[in-house]
Chains A and B, each alone.
Chain A
Amino acid sequence: MIEIEGITKRYDATTVVDDVSMVIEPRTIAVIVGTSGSGKTTLLRMINRLVEPTAGIIRLDGNDNRSQPDYELRRSIGYAIQGHGLFPHRTVAQNIATVPVLLGWDKARIKARVDELMTLYQLDPEAYGPRYPHELSGGQQQRVGVARALAAEPNVLLMDEPFGALDPIIRTKAQEDLLAIQKRFGTTIILVTHDMEEAVRMGDKIAVMDAGKLVQYAKPAEILAKPASDFVETLVGASEKPFRLLSLGRVSDAVEKGTAEGEAIPGDASQRDALAELLWSGRSALPVKGEDGKPLGRVTVDGLVKRAARPA
């Protein structure tokens, strides 16, 4: 659990982060969204003390994050940044091993962990371990960057626009991979982005920041349904709201009784994808299949449209 209490950061007369308080539950993903200059990156960097706050306290599992030397704190927190920041003079395996080496793990344990992470990220340890970062594609570099951040099994992972430099297709894949890995390791993730789409897709909770202040901190559905201010409303994008709301739900939650013609859509697809498929194919209903391939029922245009309406 991460408790941020009354955190403020001032540079001379400018207040970059203004009295922010929020609690991030363990094993969840909190996404901080805001425009550039909103203080979201500064807030993130105060958690691992790359920036020291002017006022306020940040507690990690109850401990003040100033209770140990800053470098020791940072070794216990994963940190992944935009443009990955891999060490160009070190191989992929050495890059991933950075924090375990700093912590003095023995060689066998480091190798086992590096191999585990590389396999998890679909990079063959034999083939890619000895390569240098510039020999990898952008998507691979990004994965190595996240693998490096996760190497020492941190409970908390901080990510600053980690997918910012990726093209849309690789970005979607990277987001899915991160969600899967978060589930697997139960890591608490705090992710900074300017992309509301990414926030809705990734976040258990979304924190919206504007001019250093925390404007709203709530579940994605609530941010979409009840934006706390005009700023949040603009950020969400009025015309996008119904579709973002649908993208939060799974098809299996919108299943109705009955059957329909045509190819079935999997139950774990998003309701947005189902609606898109219905509209595009000009049909009024789609069959739904479960993970085992058995029919679950159907989704209808009418049913989905009702779900896209503003929650009461």
Chain B
Amino acid sequence: MKAWLPSLLRLLLVVLLVAFVTNPGWFQPLLKPLTENGAPAIYNQGSLLTLTFLHLRTVLIATVAATIVAVALAILVTRPAGAEFLPLSRSLVNIGQTFPPVAVLALAVPAVGFGEKPTLIALFLYGLLPIFENALTGLTTLPANVMEAARGAGMTGWQRLLKVELPLSAPIILGGIRLSVVISLATATIGSTVAAKTLGEVIIAGLLSNNLAFVLQGGLIVAALAVLIYDGLSAIERYTARRMGQETA
């Protein structure tokens, strides 16, 4: 009975999420008690479905870009020729993480204008660190005898990277991507302060009009997305790790 319970809960969450963003009207009675003075209980200044889609798109673009840059950087600094850039790239990536996203937004708006762009920049910078650190760990902790065998079999540097090193560190790199995605999902909401179309719009509208129902529905959709995506990526990680006979945490 214990084994199928988590799967059932996940399925239930998916059904609820899809139902809520496609037919929010159904949930009006539930949220009505949270509003005052006859304010609307369901966000009415745009479609929740569209906002969810745009929110996910923003996170996807930022994460893909962060993954490409972070993994490329990790590959570069783990080659003999790039080893001396390791401290430099570490500090660069760390700076990206220490800068609060709000500050990045404030600095980016004068440069690139309002809208999605400053949000993408903030999420990209914020998402680099977990992916870079994990890729670095993955690429530097490969089993020595496997690497020796790859060299001894006559693989070139590229062949070793593509056929052995990246596949072997894939579970760890995926772990970094997972962390980055979850951070970005939450952080993307503040993008709405600079007019990016994300679910943050609902939360901010709720805060401005003192409508708790808005804040709650915006927050819950983001939370549900985060939980489901985190779960899904964990499952892929476990699958790739298990295929290699690695123990999973």
Q: Which residues of A contact B (CB under 8 A)?
A: 48, 50, 71-76, 79, 81-89, 98-99, 102, 132-135, 145, 148, 158
Contact = CB atoms under 8 A, between A and B. Distances in A.
A49 to B, nearest CB: 10
A75 B245 CA distance: 27
23 contacts: A48-B152, A50-B151, A71-B155, A71-B156, A72-B154, A73-B154, A74-B152, A76-B154, A79-B149, A79-B152, A79-B153, A81-B148, A81-B149, A81-B152, A82-B145, A85-B149, A86-B149, A87-B150, A87-B168, A88-B245, A89-B243, A132-B243, A148-B153
Contacts of B152: 48, 50, 74, 79, 81, 85, 158
A85 B244 contact: no
State the majority secondary structure of interface residues on B: helix
A81 B145 contact: yes
B244 A88 contact: yes
A98 B155 CA distance: 9
A74 B168 contact: no
A83 B154 contact: no
A98 B154 CA distance: 9
B74 to A, nearest CB: 19
A59 to B, nearest CB: 19
A132 B244 contact: yes
A74 B149 contact: no
Interface residues of B, number: 22
A83 B151 contact: no
Interface string B215-249: 00000000000000000000000001001111000
Contacts of B145: 81-85
Nearest to B144: A85
B167 interface: yes
A50 B154 contact: no
A50 B148 contact: yes
A79 B154 CA distance: 10
Nearest to B240: A89
Interface string B42-56: 000000000000000
Most chain B beta carbons < 10 A, residue from A76, A98, A148 = A98
A215 to B, nearest CB: 27
Contacts of A99: 153-154
Contact of A87 (B151, B154, B156, B164): B164
A74 B245 contact: no
A133 B154 CA distance: 20
A88 B148 contact: no
Interface in B4-56: none
Contact of B153 (A82, A102, A132, A133): A102
Interface in B31-88: none
Contact of A74 (B153, B164, B240, B244): B153
Most chain A beta carbons < 10 A, residue from B148, B150, B153 = B153
3 smallest beta-carbon distances between A and B, as pairs: A134-B245, A85-B149, A75-B154
Given A74-B151, A74-B153, A79-B153, A87 B146 contact: yes
B210 interface: no
Contacts of A134: 244-245
Contacts of A158: 152
B149 A75 contact: no
B146 A71 contact: no
Contacts of A86: 146, 149
B137 interface: no
A72 B240 CA distance: 31
Interface string B198-218: 000000000000000000000
A86 B151 CA distance: 12
B212 to A, nearest CB: 50
Contacts of A102: 153-155, 159
Contacts of B246: 88
A158 B159 CA distance: 22
A99 B155 CA distance: 8
Contacts of B245: 88, 132-135
A50 B150 CA distance: 11
Interface string B123-165: 0000000000000000000010110111111111001000110
A72 to B, nearest CB: 7
A135 B243 CA distance: 10
A76 B245 CA distance: 30
B79 to A, nearest CB: 16
Nearest to B145: A85
Contacts of B154: 71-76, 99, 102
Contact of B148 (A85, A89, A98, A135): A85
Most chain B beta carbons < 10 A, residue from A48, A82, A88 = A88
Contacts of A84: 145, 149
A99 B151 CA distance: 11
Contacts of A71: 154-156
Contacts of B168: 87-89
